[in-house]
Amino acid sequence: MSVRCEVDRQNDRATLLFGSQEDYVLSLESTSLAEVLSLGQRALNELESEPAPC
């Protein structure tokens, strides 16, 4: 999947574009972008952690 970003410094906004034809577009102000990144890091940490014993 192709991904790219566009940054609009004047409006404090970043747009993330996913897919060869920009199938998914996410436009966020910097505060919301930081929250998404934090959530993504939490998800990665969970995926990389060992499962709890049964």
Place of tokens 């060869």: 20
pLDDT in tens, 1-54: 899 999 999 999 999 999 999 999 999 999 999 999 999 999 999 999 977 777
Q: Which domain holds residue 23?
A: 3-46
Q: Is residue 41 part of a domain?
A: yes
3-state secondary structure of 38: helix
pTM, rounded to two decimals: 0.78
Number of domain units in the chain: 1
Q: Is residue 53 part of a domain?
A: no
Q: Is residue 51 part of a domain?
A: no
Q: Is residue 52 part of a domain?
A: no
Q: How far apart are CA 33 and CA 31, in angstroms?
A: 5
Q: How far apart are CA 24 and CA 26, in angstroms?
A: 7
